[in-house]
Amino acid sequence: MWQVIGQTKAVSLLQRSLETGSLAHAYLFVGPAHVGKMTLALNLAQALNCEAAEQPCGVCPSCLKIASGKHADVQVMALSGETSEENRAKISVEQIEQLQHSVSLPPFEGKYRVFIIDGAEFLSIGAANRLLKTLEEPVGKVVFILLTPDEKLLLPTIVSRCQRLELFLMSPIQLEAALKTKWGVEPEKAKLLSRLAHGCLGWAVSSARDDSLVVQRAETLDKVLDIINGDSEERFAYASQMATQFGQNRGQVYARLDLWLDWWRDLLLVKTGSLDSITNIDRLDTLSEMAAGLSLGQIRSFIQSIRSAGEQLRQNASLRFVLEVLMLDIPEVSKHAQVKSAV
């Protein structure tokens, strides 16, 4: 049984390739973070090495070993270390050289050697060129699976050597149904998680199993609300703290900005009466209060500010500067409305 849910197109294509023996030598799975790229890659590795008649069975010794990361023929390569602001980490030439050595060996215990490269966009130019050589000279019983959220960051020559499969975000309705039926999550929690997950089943399932993700999110959101209601001193302290805390890891800053964006999009939805699409459904009262104290123009303009902060960071602008500008752009929530709502 394929464990990936909601990716019918990709799964049926792979299933057909397995059945007809028309497997590609290299695959590129494209899709946003937590959409299920790694789950699908491991599932494909299982299907290739499964000992049962219906592959992947998920329960034979080979499938179990792959699931627990202990199969000698399935290697996962990813970025080691954190991405720093000055020196963006890369998958190195040395890492690819090691991989090339393994490629030349026959499978140890399974039928296929499978190499999964998670975050293929982090390949250094040198490493990408080395990998390209390997992809250009296919070896039997070896399958490469490259995972990336954005194929534009890969060398076009690498992309053209791979069979491309796109993984899509699931709708909140699909997610909610999957959480209830497959994981037995209680209805109210399933509804909330299906909204907070932004289409990513992986995040929703992890959060259903482990409350700490949702608790952490709530704490971070509380801080965001404090800052919106705070004075300029508090806002600059927040920007400075975030710049220090996340200077070594921009990914976390993007995640924090996404949370800001969610909140302001929700305010826009409340303001326009589109309550069905709200993400933070557990905070509807606070959203309504705050939306009453803001104009549509103010909300739209600040959403634009958050987006442009994200774009500037992607273009390598100074983290502290971008965050300080963003803090200056936070609109004033009308006190009148707040007083009214407090009564």
Instruction: Verify binding: residue 23, Zn ion, rule CB under 5 A.
Output: no
Q: How far is CA 9 from CA 114, 166, 184, in A?
A: 22, 9, 25
CB of 14 to Zn ion, least distance (A): 15
CB of 78 to Zn ion, least distance (A): 24
Piece of 48-56, 84-92, 139-147, 248-256 that binds Zn ion (CB under 5 A): 48-56
CB of 20 to Zn ion, least distance (A): 20
CB of 51 to Zn ion, least distance (A): 6
Beta carbon nearer to Zn ion, 35 or 67: 67
For the record, the structure tokens of 168 come out as 């899509």
Beta carbon nearer to Zn ion, 46 or 207: 46
For Zn ion, what does the binding mask look like between residues 62 and 91, x meaning CB under 5 A?
-x----------------------------
For the record, the structure tokens of 222 come out as 């509380």
Yes or no: say if 119 and 147 are a contact pair by the CB < 8 Å rule. yes
CB of 41 to Zn ion, least distance (A): 16
Instruction: Verify binding: residue 42, Zn ion, rule CB under 5 A.
Output: no
Beta carbon nearer to Zn ion, 67 or 145: 67
Piece of 22-30, 47-55, 237-245, 324-332 that binds Zn ion (CB under 5 A): 47-55
For the record, the structure tokens of 81 come out as 């270390």
Beta carbon nearer to Zn ion, 18 or 89: 18
Distance from chain centroid for Cα 332: 32
Q: How far is CA 184 from CA 178, 180, 188, 204, in A?
A: 9, 5, 12, 12
Instruction: Verify binding: residue 261, Zn ion, rule CB under 5 A.
Output: no
For the record, the structure tokens of 111 come out as 């039928």
Beta carbon nearer to Zn ion, 50 or 128: 50
- The H-assigned helical ranges of the chain are 8-20, 37-49, 61-67, 93-103, 125-136, 156-161, 172-183, 187-196, 201-209, 212-229, 232-246, 250-271, 284-292, 296-314, 319-329, 335-342
Distance from chain centroid for Cα 22: 30
Calpha distance 229→200 (Å, rounded): 31
The DSSP 8-state label assigned to residue 281 in this structure reads G
Calpha distance 157→128 (Å, rounded): 9
Beta carbon nearer to Zn ion, 10 or 45: 45
Binder among 52, 153, 225, 284 for Zn ion (CB under 5 A)? 52
Instruction: Verify binding: residue 50, Zn ion, rule CB under 5 A.
Output: yes
Beta carbon nearer to Zn ion, 54 or 231: 54
Yes or no: say if 63 and 56 are a contact pair by the CB < 8 Å rule. yes
Of 307, 298, 281, which Cα lies nearest the Cα of 337? Answer: 298
CB of 165 to Zn ion, least distance (A): 21
Beta bridge partners of 332: none
CB of 63 to Zn ion, least distance (A): 3
Torsions phi, psi for 178 (to 5 deg): -65, -40
Piece of 52-60, 126-134, 143-151, 322-330 that binds Zn ion (CB under 5 A): 52-60
Instruction: Verify binding: residue 60, Zn ion, rule CB under 5 A.
Output: yes
Residues in 172-211 that interact with Zn ion by CB under 5 A: none
Calpha distance 186→41 (Å, rounded): 29
Instruction: Verify binding: residue 57, Zn ion, rule CB under 5 A.
Output: yes
Beta carbon nearer to Zn ion, 47 or 306: 47
Beta bridge partners of 74: 114
Piece of 42-50, 186-194, 271-279, 322-330 that binds Zn ion (CB under 5 A): 42-50
Beta carbon nearer to Zn ion, 61 or 251: 61
In a 10 Å sphere around its CB, with 0-12 CB exposed, 13-18 middle and 19+ buried, how is residue 214 labelled? middle
Piece of 45-53, 75-83, 296-304, 326-334 that binds Zn ion (CB under 5 A): 45-53
Q: Report the interface residues with Zn ion, using CB under 5 A.
A: 50, 52, 57, 60, 63
